[in-house]
Amino acid sequence: MNNAIDLIRQPRRFLLGMITELSLEQLNRIPAGFNNNIAWNLGHMVASQQNICYLRGGVDLKVDVAFWDLYKSGTRPEREFGADDMAIIQTLFTSTLDQLEADLTTELFDNYTPWTTRYGVAITNVHEAVQFLPFHDGLHLGVISSMKRLV
């Protein structure tokens, strides 16, 4: 599974490098035509990985519930994200993948609840969920790239 996690980890590292020169104001700006901002998209990528792998796997989140509530699907930025928020996101961006990689070597996800994504992809176990994550992250990387040009 190491290779599958690396397919998520490497683009996330690229994305963090891509936004390093942006100010907090730019990370928080919601460009015309968008519902959210770069900061929210980054947090959402972490929250979605937690939902897709852990919650659907019948396992407790590996992030604080308050964090997950801010960025889960169906939410949008309700406040400005500060430097502390961005530091947390940057840490979780990779640490949650390290945790997932470790957890995949155990029997932790034996109660995975099958579901179908809004894109019609049927996911029946955590290994399929991990294979879906690069697609989801890629969508948000594209959104962030577009936003970066507008902020």
pLDDT in tens, 12-47: 999 999 999 999 999 999 999 999 999 999 999 999
In 3D space, the residue among 53, 92, 54 whose CA is nearest the CA of residue 70 turns out to be 92
Answer for the pair 133, 8: CB distance below 8 angstroms, yes or no: yes
* DSSP code, position 52: I
Q: In order of start, what are the domains of the chain with their CATH numbers? A: 2-15+22-150 (1.20.120.450)
Extract the residue ranges of the chain whose pLDDT is less than 50: 1
The pLDDT assigned to 7 comes to 94
